[in-house]
Amino acid sequence: MHRSRSEPGSARSKPCGRTQRRSSLRTGSRTARCSSPKNSASRHCAATKAGIWTVATCRWPPKRVCFRPWRFKPNGGETEFADTRAAYDALDDATQERIEDLSAYHSLYASQARIGHIVETGSACGYQDKGAPLRPLVKVHPVTGRKTLCTGRHAYRIPGMEDTEAQAFLDDLIESACQPPRLYLHRWTPGDLVIWDNRCVLHRARPHDFSEPRVLQAPRSAGDPETELAPTGRDERASGFEPSSSNR
């Protein structure tokens, strides 16, 4: 990740994105607001920023994501990134061979349920009835051809494997992936804009005081449907299942 000033974190393996200082940003972006968790929406926001590694879960995820904070406190709430290309390369041969033909279902319902949050379909962003996307654990980057580890907190089920075994295996994968020197920690300052390739980077928010308001703008670039669309299966935590051939 290119940046205009020195930042803490590894310089040996940086996520495939870039950091810029800008005074403005185009409109048409998504803005996430986090405040004191007094209702279901803010509890959802707080839970998704609890420091757990994540990547987009929708059936057609973005290829590029930008973060720009509009309102924040200088203490806590950093964003950390993990390079999943380097994570795959660091796996031993036996693990690489084992996951080569494995896929996992991804569900926001499932990941939130693990931390005690049960959310009704349609009540917040990401809680939809299109089903849980099934994605290979080994993704080939459509531009570079490099293999990456495709996992994250929303991965929860592997076809042909018992759920408890699958979850433990997925947890071990993400734990091994998100280790130095494959990490970059960004401490936010006014005017920051961070851009990364969502196809080969995991991210997470670091702990902060949820009683203090935070406003984050997050514009995204749509991914190529030929490489990013995924088949879906019924998500038992959703109220229904209406599969779609697009992200709509």
DSSP string of 190-214? TTEEEEEETTSEEEEEPP--TTS-E
Say what the pTM is: 0.77
Distance CA(1)–CA(184), nearest Å, equals 8
* pLDDT value, residue 140: 95
**In the structure, what pLDDT confidence band is assigned to residue 248 with cuts at 50, 70 and 90?**
low
Distance CA(227)–CA(244), nearest Å, equals 16
* pLDDT value, residue 222: 85
> Per-residue pLDDT tens for 8-56?
333 333 444 444 433 222 223 333 333 333 444 444 444 444 456 766 5
What domains can you pick out in the chain, each with its CATH number?
A: 17-233 (3.60.130.10)
Higher pLDDT, 7 or 232: 232
Distance CA(67)–CA(208), nearest Å, equals 17
The mean of the pLDDT values for the chain is 78
Question: Residue range 89-110: average pLDDT?
Answer: 95
Phi and psi, residue 239, nearest 5°: -75, -15
DSSP 54: B
Whether the pLDDT of residue 208 is over 60: the answer is yes
Distance CA(154)–CA(113), nearest Å, equals 10
Distance CA(98)–CA(102), nearest Å, equals 8
